[in-house]
Structure 1
């Protein structure tokens, strides 16, 4: 079922997968859309009803109106769907949205799964964040130079290890990624700084639900460092690594991710 949630300042597009008894809410990564959860949902159809929404400037949701903060606006959209205790999943930037949702409404989050979270402020080794910033420069230069298609191609190359290369992507997919690329710099305040104080002493005390920190074995080295930093802060967390997978692990390895979720939910 597809629908739009219209009571927000900007309605977001929502879709549901499955009709299982366990309600799950999922937040996709930058440059993707809610349909990215289709493969994972198919692995869990016997168990879950998975609800996902398109971030602003993604999929069928409207372009962000540049009012307020980009992450905050998407957190608000997610919280509008968190109407009962649910299992919450986020991938990449979507994982940072999910983390903020859990901080604001922990009583409604039955479990929290952060897949390849790009909350770089939590990295155990800050030098890896510096290295990533240097690797980002060609992408930033292309974006500032008025070439969003090149910027999207470079960004995709950085993060889509094992996924189809840019020329092999369908034109609608390339166009959607080019549309969304302009929001990436606006994510920086939320991922490079600890605005909510989660990393401060006691900042994560409310997150007592089971937490799964998941990444691919072949991802960018900064991601395991982020997960290590989060593991040190979260009181009930564990790390899982999917062999042979990169940053897009939830799309490329849905069966393996589903197995980790089943183990988490059995806790």
Structure 2
């Protein structure tokens, strides 16, 4: 197992792009979307630590999980572009990492596509499961916590639809969900700081599943109100895992944003 497993979907070398996947997934989640983009971009990706074929997360001193993923993404951007602009695509936690990069370094981003960013600090209600997940985990009921999480944020059928090996892997990843609470619900990295979102001048596309939990629409509302150039789209019949369940619609919306940049 490599420290960080990298992926590359060939395409236009003059149009580099980076895709960052969701928690409890892998970069393979973007395979269907990449296929439907038809080589419009040279798309790169990686498996998050403790996901897919990447090694288990081992935090460096003072670095939380969100910062580790952000550091990996920034390093890959340097490798791909020499610190130049690229198209940035993120799903779920991957979208929050993409947004963090865009806030910190707006000049790195040619276009920004955010698919269901789970920056719960942007919603008045916050993460609807925070307290329940923490309580279950504290009691050692990790499978119940995983079921609760996957039934809300997983694909069709939730936890019960997963193959046994995938269920086991998901249970092992629940501590990472809890570990990212300060970043997602507390915005400890100040993504929402005054002037931050307003400094992103690249075109932004916010994509949501129409059947996703209401908190997703609340997050999108907050972000859209502060972004300079933003489009919003809701995919009918889709939930949180729409890059896998509705790849044609997602790819089409990404293409719209590529055309705007």
Per the normalisation by structure 1, the TM-score is: 0.87
Q: Does residue 1:104 correspond to 2:121, yes or no? A: no
What displacement does 1:231 show? 0.6
What displacement does 1:266 show? 1.0
Q: Which moved more, 1:144-153 or 1:25-34?
A: 144-153
**Other structure's SS at 1:240 match:** strand
What displacement does 1:24 show? 1.6
Distance 2:89 2:12 in 1: 16
Q: Does residue 1:178 correspond to 2:195, yes or no? A: no
8 Å CA contact 2:104, 2:196 repeated in 1 = no
Q: What are the ranges of 5 or more consecutive residues in structure 1 without an aligned counterpart?
A: 5-10
**Other structure's SS at 1:266 match:** helix
**1:41-56 counterparts in 2 under 5 A?**
41-56=34-49
What displacement does 1:167 show? 3.0
Q: Does residue 1:19 correspond to 2:19, yes or no? A: no
CA RMSD of aligned residues (A): 1.9
Aligned length: 252
CA shift in 2, pair 1:51/1:113, >3 Å? same
CA shift in 2, pair 1:136/1:191, >3 Å? closer
Corresponding position of 2:114: 114
Distance 1:197 1:47 in 2: 33
What displacement does 1:137 show? 4.2
What displacement does 1:108 show? 1.8
Q: Which moved more, 1:252-261 or 1:19-28?
A: 19-28
8 Å CA contact 2:122, 2:219 repeated in 1 = yes
8 Å CA contact 1:96, 1:119 repeated in 2 = yes
Match of 1:224 among 201, 217, 222: 217
Per the normalisation by structure 2, the TM-score is: 0.89
Q: Does residue 1:153 correspond to 2:166, yes or no? A: no
What displacement does 1:102 show? 1.6
**Other structure's SS at 1:26 match:** strand
Corresponding position of 1:70: 65
Distance 2:133 2:198 in 1: 37
Q: Does residue 1:199 correspond to 2:187, yes or no? A: no
8 Å CA contact 2:146, 2:159 repeated in 1 = no
Distance 1:46 1:53 in 2: 18
CA shift in 2, pair 1:37/1:73, >3 Å? same
**Other structure's SS at 1:245 match:** coil
**Other structure's SS at 1:87 match:** strand
CA shift in 2, pair 1:235/1:144, >3 Å? same
What displacement does 1:111 show? 0.6
